[in-house]
Amino acid sequence: MAQSQSPTNQGYGETGKRMAGELATGVKSCVCIITSCTANEAQTAAGITKSADTGLDLVDADSVKSSTTTVANDTVELDHKFTAVTGDTVLGFGILNDDDDVLFMICCFAASVVLAASDTLTIEGKQQYKLGA
Rounded distance, CA 118 to CA 95, Å?
Answer: 22
Q: Is the pTM of this model over 0.85?
A: yes
Question: What's the confidence (pLDDT) of residue 34?
Answer: 97
Share of the chain above pLDDT 90, in %: 71
Question: What's the confidence (pLDDT) of residue 132?
Answer: 64
Distance of alpha carbon 45 from its chain centroid, rounded?
10
- In which band, very low, low, confident or very high, does the pLDDT at 18 lie, cut at 50, 70 and 90? confident
Rounded distance, CA 84 to CA 42, Å?
Answer: 29
What residues contact 13, with CB distance under 8 A and at least 6 apart? 102
- Give the phi and the psi of residue 50 in degrees, each rounded to 5: -85, 145
Average pLDDT, the chain: 92
Residue 126: CB atoms within 10 A of its CB come to: 15
Question: What's the confidence (pLDDT) of residue 109?
Answer: 97
Share of the chain above pLDDT 70, in %: 98
Question: What's the confidence (pLDDT) of residue 17?
Answer: 86
Q: How far is CA 51 from CA 4, 32, 58, 67, 111, in A?
A: 19, 6, 8, 28, 16
Rounded distance, CA 126 to CA 66, Å?
Answer: 9
pLDDT in tens, 40-60: 999 999 999 999 999 999 999
Q: Answer for the pair 51, 57: CB distance below 8 angstroms, yes or no.
A: yes
pLDDT in tens, 80-124: 999 999 999 999 999 999 999 999 999 999 999 999 999 999 999
